[in-house]
């Protein structure tokens, strides 16, 4: 895969320079910084950042094109329906 920052991504709490938490690569390269002033998405920013990291890492071997096509979403829905 190419075109995006290589996985694994890491969520971390920063608490410096108005940054409350951020998303970085496993070697510490910044991907997204979430600031304390709400520009990052407000009160849900920590939960959103953690979810982004979890999803990116879980899907690291699946191409962006496959993800955008909706095939993975359909597969997940079929599994959820089968489990009910």
SS3 per residue for 38-76: CCCCHHHHHHHHHHHHHHHHHCCCCCHHHHHHCHHHHHH
Per-domain boundaries in the chain: 9-83
- How confident is the model over 35-64, as pLDDT tens digits? 766 555 566 778 888 999 999 999 999 888
- How confident is the model over 64-73, as pLDDT tens digits? 898 899 888 8
Q: Kindly state the percentage of the chain with pLDDT values over 70.
A: 82
């Amino acid at each position: 895969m190419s075109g995006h920052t290589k996985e694994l991504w890491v969520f971390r709490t920063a608490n410096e320079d108005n940054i409350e938490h951020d998303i970085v690569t496993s070697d510490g390269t910044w991907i997204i910084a979430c600031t304390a002033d709400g520009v990052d998405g407000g009160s849900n920013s920590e939960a959103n950042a953690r979810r982004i990291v979890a999803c990116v890492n879980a899907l690291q071997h699946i191409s962006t094109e496959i993800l955008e096509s909706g095939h993975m979403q359909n597969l997940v829905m079929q599994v959820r329906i089968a489990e009910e």
